[in-house]
Structure 1
Amino acid sequence: MDKSDITLERLRSFVRVAERGSLSAVARELGVGQSTITRHLRELETALGVPLLNRTTRRVSMTDEGARYYANCLQILRLVEQAGDEARATRGAPAGTIRISCTAAIGVLHVTRLIFAFQDRHPDIGIDLSLTDERVDLVREGVDVALRLGPLTDSSMKLRNLGHSRRLLVAAPDYLAAHGRPAAPQDLSGHEGIRMTNVAGSDTLVLQGPDGARHTVPFGGRFRVDHGLAAREALAAGRGIGSAHRWLVDDLLSAGRLEVILPDYVPLSVPLNMLIVPQRTGIARVRLLVDFLAERIRAIPGIEQTR
């Protein structure tokens, strides 16, 4: 084996192909041609003398040898990055790129401004922000940190609870003037509802009353959407009643464009969590961002600390 053929560049190409299962996707991610990634893999396998990947027309998967080598490569690349962080720390300027995935609406309305403030404090740190409501595979997509609303099932990530997002029932004054104001939860069944297609069970509302009891009521409507910002527009346009996160509509409530209805009956709050890829927790710039967001996010309207 010619050790000079085992370079960090080739290790990184192998690790990302192993995680993403696609040479073309990794080539786009790294900004190189697919032929370059193919060459990196071929040269690495030649140097090692064992096949690392199984390639078919549809997918790429690791061989048994590749899976063992992948685990070791992760350790090597993490140590290299940490060593670089420690060297840069001597001049007091963390640098590099952090990849963040964030639930779309809260990302647009609030998290982007927090990231701007973070970069003003740390000008040598780049941010690659992906806004999506899908539950992406963080390792596969090369994400360092994710902000997610709702229950989580991925126990392989390090989790940091940021609190709960309070929700309200809201509607525009024009809608209420035209259709009447509900006086009790059961009145909602006769109203137009703005519903989310990517939220399970959106055809019913579960409300918690003043005595702590829960009330489940049917919730219909002609407009359904899969993005919070579109739901916000529909509510402001007077298209119906909706359950909305406080941070989504706080400015509209302050401006009088929306009103809270049935204030004594509130939709259940939703957990807000930060997920960190375990292999990235030792990176100085990632730790800085995690601590910064955990401190600043509590100032977002409607985010309440978990008791």
Structure 2
Amino acid sequence: MDKSDVTLERMRTFVRVAERGSLSAVARELGIGQSTVTRQLRELEEAIGVSLLSRTTRRVTLTDEGSRYYANSIQILRLVEHAGDEARGTRGAAAGTIRVSCTAAFGVLHVSRLIFAFQDRYPHIGIDLSLSDERVDLVREGIDIALRLAPLTDSSLKLRPLGESRRLLVAAPSYLIARGLPGSPNDLAAHEGIRMSNVAGSDKITLKGPDGRHHVVPLGGRFRIDHGLAAREALIAGRGIAPTHRWLVNDLLASGQLVPLIQDYSLPSVPLSMLIVPERADIARVRLLVDFLVEQIGGIAGIERAKG
């Protein structure tokens, strides 16, 4: 083989394997057989004349030469993608695929609907939406944009604040008929709570009173869950009281299926942010989706738009 065998397809495959550290994962991602991934890597290494990857039974890692080649490949592929965007821009058509990661319940109830509207506006753009409450490595998973509800400090990614997610205490009327209506934060200790097992400190609630003082009260309960939609169902079923995001239950409050509790006291809000992989931020279709989400997410009930 010679240098003409260094194709963009083989380079892209190498980059994804370097980022994911797994041939089988990349094969599933690309929709091809693992033997095809192995062949493309072998042909690329033969064309270059050096070993780029070190393979073990459990992991694929970069050699020193592979690390340098990976860094250069990222720049080359980025230029190729930008060239394509520029060419398509002359025809006014945005195209390609964007990979988006989002907090699960927020994605199901709200972001998926926004993506439908975005694709109606830009019919040639594909969206690969991944829903998870787990922190994922955006580069390793090939994600372009992530929406997260939590304080974030990852300095390696571009962070764009979208707003604050307002929270409140709620319960179903059926639960309150059976157990009584709490009149103050201290009353919560005697009530059944629905707790999020993937949220640290969910056994306590911090409430800010009308005088500005903070009250930390315990929240017990027999039901713990790691998914917001399941917590929503538990609330509807009258299984207890829960602190929840307004966007998760706004329709249920409007219909009377849930009611707010102890409204003189407020729960701290949670930041809603967008994370963008820096190498993807200047791609035209990614910019379009970023701008669209920034514009639209502030209209969701319970999200207070970021200032500025």
TM-score of the two chains, using structure 1 as the length reference: 0.98
Q: What CA distance in whole angstroms lies between the structure 2 residues aligned with 1:211 and 1:104?
A: 35
Matched, 1:43 2:43: yes
User: What is the Cα deviation at residue 212 of structure 1?
Assistant: 2.1
User: What is the Cα deviation at residue 306 of structure 1?
Assistant: 3.5
What is the CA deviation profile of residues 203-229 of structure 1, one whole-angstrom value per residue up to 9, with x for unaligned ones?
Answer: 111111122221100110010000000
Q: What CA distance in whole angstroms lies between the structure 2 residues aligned with 1:212 and 1:8?
A: 60
State the SS of the aligned residue for 2:140. Answer: helix
User: What is the Cα deviation at residue 53 of structure 1?
Assistant: 0.7
User: What is the Cα deviation at residue 148 of structure 1?
Assistant: 0.4
2:180 is matched with 180
Q: What CA distance in whole angstroms lies between the structure 2 residues aligned with 1:188 and 1:77?
A: 56
2:104 is matched with 104
User: What is the Cα deviation at residue 153 of structure 1?
Assistant: 3.4
Large movers: runs of 4+ above 2 Å: none
State the SS of the aligned residue for 1:234. Answer: helix
Q: What CA distance in whole angstroms lies between the structure 1 residues aligned with 2:162 and 2:247?
A: 14
What is the CA deviation profile of residues 135-170 of structure 1, one whole-angstrom value per residue up to 9, with x for unaligned ones?
Answer: 011011111000000112322110100001000000
2:279 is matched with 279
User: What is the Cα deviation at residue 305 of structure 1?
Assistant: 2.3
Q: What CA distance in whole angstroms lies between the structure 2 residues aligned with 1:203 and 1:9?
A: 50
Matched, 1:68 2:68: yes
What is the CA deviation profile of residues 189-247 of structure 1, one whole-angstrom value per residue up to 9, with x for unaligned ones?
Answer: 00000100000000111111122221100110010000000000101111100001000
Aligned residues with identical type, % of pairs: 75
State the SS of the aligned residue for 1:274. Answer: strand
Q: What CA distance in whole angstroms lies between the structure 1 residues aligned with 2:27 and 2:212?
A: 54
1:133 is matched with 133
Give the alignment's Cα RMSD to 1 decimal: 0.9
Aligned amino acid, residue 210 of structure 1 = P
Q: What CA distance in whole angstroms lies between the structure 2 residues aligned with 1:210 and 1:78?
A: 53
Where does 1:1-307 land on structure 2 (aligned, <5 Å)? 2-307=2-307
Q: What CA distance in whole angstroms lies between the structure 2 residues aligned with 1:118 and 1:305?
A: 19
Q: What CA distance in whole angstroms lies between the structure 2 residues aligned with 1:77 and 1:237?
A: 51
Q: What CA distance in whole angstroms lies between the structure 1 residues aligned with 2:110 and 2:188?
A: 30
Q: What CA distance in whole angstroms lies between the structure 2 residues aligned with 1:69 and 1:153?
A: 29
What is the CA deviation profile of residues 250-280 of structure 1, one whole-angstrom value per residue up to 9, with x for unaligned ones?
Answer: 0000000000001111221000000000000
Aligned amino acid, residue 303 of structure 1 = I
**Structure 1, unaligned runs of 5 or more:** none
Higher mean C-alpha deviation, range 127-136 or range 42-51:
42-51
What is the CA deviation profile of residues 17-56 of structure 1, one whole-angstrom value per residue up to 9, with x for unaligned ones?
Answer: 0000000110111111111111111111111111111100
**Structure 2, unaligned runs of 5 or more:** none
Aligned amino acid, residue 244 of structure 1 = T
